[in-house]
Amino acid sequence: MNTSGHIEKPFWGDLPGKCIIFSAPSGAGKTTIVKYLLRQIPNLSFSISAASRQPRGKEESGVDYHFFTVAQFKERIEKKEFVEWEEVYTNNFYGTLKSEVLKAWKNNKIVVFDVDALGGKNLKSIFGERSISIFIKPPSLFVLEQRLKNRGTETPEQIKMRLDKANEEIAHADDFDYTLLNDNLEHACAEIKVIIQDFIQT
């Protein structure tokens, strides 16, 4: 199940600002690349997504995600606190909080999003020319499966569910401004750094 949530329209008033949208299947190396860019390029601000699930492994609320219960997430939907949100699986919600964007832009920062493919497409439709969207592809689904197994944070059933979703997400890669193949992490980081720096300077 992959149900697109309601997409909010512009909410930032006259605030100037840009954003960088990263999407990829789980395990494709997106988080590693985003953390590299945050270390390398000044003036970037990571937008912490919201999720209606429990933390995995060493994840911390307010650091990796804003973790809410399903009821808390639905309450925030009603209050229109999200830029966009999705019900990725039944009662498994993810979303982008307006407060994350406003906080960054008020401090003259460029917002960095780390979202799934549908979230990335939704954000691109909202922010338009203010944004650049990048899809990170794994070398293969086999490599992706091995990475997910090596994390040791999910059951075989959860891994299968993620691989099925990865197939769906990869089909949307061409809808992004750039597609980056992460078959060599060092090369991928160097390539994406150049793309981001060009975007910031335009």
29 marked among binding-site residues? yes
27 marked among binding-site residues? yes
23 marked among binding-site residues? no
Residues in the chain: 202
Pairing of strands 82-89, 92-97: antiparallel
In whole angstroms, what is the distance from residue 112 CA to residue 114 CA?
A: 7
In whole angstroms, what is the distance from residue 9 CA to residue 133 CA?
A: 18
In whole angstroms, what is the distance from residue 192 CA to residue 196 CA?
A: 6
| Tokens of residue 151, six digits | 């994390």
47 marked among binding-site residues? no
28 marked among binding-site residues? yes
CA quadruple 105, 109, 113, 118: dihedral sign:
positive
155 marked among binding-site residues? no
Binding-site positions read 24-31
Binding-site positions for ATP read 24-31
